[in-house]
C-alpha cells in the first residue's frame, strides 16, 4: 500500500497544482487516493471525499470543508481576490454535492450542515464588473469582480439540479429549491421556491 501511495503521489505531483497538494498534506497525514470502481477519489481523514477529476480548486487556503462531506466529480471551487482579502468558502458537515457544481466567492459563501445539492448547481457571490461605460468597454474576463453581498445557504436545505444561487442571497434553513430555479433574493426558513426568478411557492 505504501509503495502504491508513493507512485500515485509522484503522478499527482505532476498533474495537480502544488497549492492543492500542500493543502492535502497540511490537513491530514492519513489521506490517500484510492481506486474505486475504476475511478480515483480523494478521501479525507475526516471522512470527507472529493471525487476526482475536479475541474478546478482555486484559493484552497480560503476554503474550509467540514466532516463527512461527499462531493462528486466535476467540482469547481474558487476563492478569488488578493491574499489579504480573498473570498471565503465554508462547507459544513454532512453536505452532499452532486456532479458538475460550481461554488465561487470573492466575498463569502457559506453552505450549512446537511445540505443536499443536485447536479450542475451554481453558487456565487459576485459578477464580472458593473454596468458603467468603463467596465462595459472591457472584455468580461478583464473586469474587476464585484460582489453584491455574501451568500448563505442554511442548514438542511435541498437544492435541485440546475439551480443558480446569485450574490446577496440567504436561504433559510430547511428550504427546498426546485430544479433550474434562479435565486436572486433571500427567503426565510422552510421555504419551497422555484422559477426564474425564484418565487415562494409555499412555506412548510
Residue 101 CA to residue 118 CA, distance in Å, equals 8
Look at the chain and count its residues.
204
Residue 14 has pLDDT above 80, yes or no: no
Please tell me what DSSP assigns to residue 152: E
> Per the domain annotation, does 24 fall within a domain?
no
174 in Cβ contact with 156 (< 8 Å): yes
CA 202 distance to own-chain centroid: 27
Domain containing 182 equals 47-203
pLDDT tens digits, one per residue of 119-169: 999 999 998 877 788 888 888 888 888 889 999 999 999 999 999 999 999
pLDDT of residue 20: 53
pLDDT of residue 170: 98
Residue 21 has pLDDT above 80, yes or no: no
- Sign of the Cα torsion 74, 44, 88, 173 reads positive
**Which range among 24-28, 34-38, 132-136, 181-185 shows the weakest confidence by mean pLDDT?**
34-38
> What is the pTM (predicted TM-score) of this model?
0.77
pLDDT tens digits, one per residue of 83-128: 778 899 999 999 999 999 999 999 999 999 999 999 999 999 998 8
> Per the domain annotation, does 194 fall within a domain?
yes
pLDDT of residue 70: 92
pLDDT tens digits, one per residue of 171-196: 999 999 999 999 999 999 999 999 99
> Per the domain annotation, does 15 fall within a domain?
no
- 3 pLDDT band, cuts 50/70/90, is low
Higher-pLDDT residue of 1, 118: 118
> Per the domain annotation, does 83 fall within a domain?
yes
> Per the domain annotation, does 27 fall within a domain?
no
> Per the domain annotation, does 20 fall within a domain?
no
User: For residue 197, what is its C-alpha cell?
Assistant: 426568478
Q: Looking at 70, 126, 128, 156, which residue is catalytic? A: 128
Higher-pLDDT residue of 44, 133: 133
> Per the domain annotation, does 62 fall within a domain?
yes
Residue 27 has pLDDT above 80, yes or no: no
66 in Cβ contact with 87 (< 8 Å): no
If one counts the domains in the chain, the total is 1
Q: Is 54 helix (H, G, I), strand (E, B) or coil?
A: coil
> Per the domain annotation, does 124 fall within a domain?
yes
CATH number of the domain enclosing 80: 2.160.10.10
Asked about 156 being catalytic, the answer comes back as no
pLDDT of residue 28: 38
Amino acid at each position: 500500500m505504501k509503495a502504491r501511495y508513493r507512485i500515485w503521489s509522484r503522478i499527482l505531483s505532476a498533474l495537480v497544482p502544488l497549492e492543492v497538494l500542500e493543502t492535502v498534506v497540511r490537513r491530514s497525514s492519513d489521506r490517500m487516493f484510492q481506486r474505486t470502481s475504476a475511478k480515483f477519489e480523494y478521501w479525507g481523514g475526516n471522512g470527507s471525499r472529493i471525487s476526482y477529476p475536479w475541474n478546478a480548486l482555486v484559493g484552497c487556503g480560503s476554503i474550509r470543508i467540514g466532516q463527512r462531506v461527499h462531493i462528486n466529480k466535476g467540482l469547481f471551487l474558487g476563492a478569488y481576490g488578493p491574499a489579504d482579502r480573498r473570498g471565503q468558502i465554508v462547507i459544513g458537515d454532512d453536505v452532499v454535492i452532486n456532479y458538475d457544481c460550481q461554488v465561487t466567492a470573492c466575498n463569502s459563501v457559506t453552505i450549512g450542515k446537511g445540505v443536499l445539492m443536485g447536479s450542475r448547481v451554481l453558487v456565487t457571490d459576485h459578477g464580472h464588473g458593473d454596468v458603467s461605460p468603463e467596465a462595459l468597454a472591457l472584455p468580461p474576463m478583464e473586469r474587476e469582480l464585484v460582489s453584491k453581498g455574501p451568500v448563505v445557504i442554511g442548514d438542511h436545505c435541498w437544492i435541485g439540479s440546475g439551480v443558480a444561487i446569485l450574490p446577496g442571497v440567504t436561504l433559510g434553513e430547511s428550504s427546498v429549491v426546485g430544479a433550474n430555479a434562479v435565486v436572486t433574493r433571500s427567503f426565510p426558513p422552510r421555504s419551497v421556491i422555484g422559477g426564474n426568478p425564484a418565487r415562494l411557492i409555499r412555506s412548510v
